[in-house]
Amino acid sequence: MLAFGGVALGSLAAWVALAVLHGAHHGPDIDWLSELCRGIALPFSTALPGAVAIWVLMSIAMMLPTAAPAIDMYVRLTRRIEARRGAHVVGFAGGYLVAWGGFAVVAGSAQSLFGGEIAKISATLPQGAVAGGLLVLAGLYQVTPLKQTCLTLCRNPMAHFMSHWREGIGGALRMGMFHGLVCIGCCWALMALMFLFGAMNLAWMAALGLLMLLEKAAPGAARAGRLTGLAMALAGTTLILTDII
């Protein structure tokens, strides 16, 4: 329970920070239905530190809860460790966050450096076609062998612990980083949809975060994830055909 409590506090802190930033940008009166149904928000340009910070907070808020089962399993597996056990657990969770922090740096840098140019190019193209293309790519990735392999490892972290166990705090850090990289392989396409819905769109963050959590933790959700991917690809194709026709 300690692991779940720590994960909940870390994720909640990130959500609060994002809500404060969101309120400062959009005002205190938030219409969540309008937020969820807001139009396409293609990548925008912003200062590099700010863009990276937003993506780091988004990664913590959305992805840390999905790591809770693996962190809890690591806690249970290290009960025999008497000296500096807490540091081992922090090392494992920290390695996971380091991996997603790297993803956030890449995503935030791409938004800052190329978002403005992409938005200008996209403005000359049918918005439905651009959005549809991103949905198709993300949806098709949901059914690829790589996605399924990474998802299987995420759903069964014991297999990784049994075959890649490393002793010491450094070993915990390396295992956490590996688990984070596997998680990125599983969820990067869904996270990339935030370029489509708009960074800091809290409603879509919550929806996608819940989808990724259920996909990793709920019984039978792996099949549901594939169906979701096909639905996304179908929705994207519909958007593209609507603009073409």
When mean pLDDT is compared across 107-116, 138-147, 149-158, the lowest value belongs to 107-116
- Residue 70 in domain: yes
Distance CA 116, CA 153 (A): 37
Reported as a pLDDT band with limits 50, 70 and 90, residue 178 is very high
Q: What is the pLDDT of residues 17-63, one digit of tens each?
A: 988 887 766 555 555 444 444 544 444 556 778 888 889 999 999 99
Q: Looking at the domain assignment, is residue 34 inside a domain? A: no
- Is residue 79 within 8 Å of residue 108, measured between CB atoms? no
**pLDDT at site 172:** 92
- The per-residue pLDDT for range 69-118, each reduced to its tens digit, is 899 889 888 877 656 778 888 999 999 999 999 999 999 888 887 766 66
Query: What is the pLDDT at residue 131?
Result: 78
Residue 175, pLDDT > 90, answer: yes
Question: Total domain count for the chain?
Answer: 1
Burial class of residue 34 (count of CB atoms within 10 Å of its CB; 0-12, 13-18, 19+):
exposed
Gap between the Cα atoms of 104 and 30, Å rounded: 26
pLDDT at residue 1 is higher than 80: no
Query: How does pLDDT run across 205-235, given as a tens digit for each residue?
Result: 898 999 899 888 888 777 778 888 899 999 8
One-letter amino acid for residue 31 of the chain: D
pTM, whole model, 2 decimals?
0.84
Distance of CA 229 to the CA centre of its chain: 16
Output the pLDDT for position 121: 57
Residue 30 lies in a domain: no
Residue 100: closest CA among 11, 177, 156, 40: 177
pLDDT score of 88: 87
Task: Identify whether 31 is part of a domain.
Answer: no
Q: Report the pLDDT value the prediction gives residue 100, as an integer from 0 to 100.
A: 95
b vs e for 188-202, b when ≥16 Cβ sit within 10 Å of the residue's Cβ?
bbbbbbbbbbbbbbb
Q: Which helix (H) or strand (E) holds 89?
A: helix 85-123
pLDDT of residue 203: 85
* Within-domain flag for 164: yes
The parent domain of residue 216 ranges over 2-25+39-244
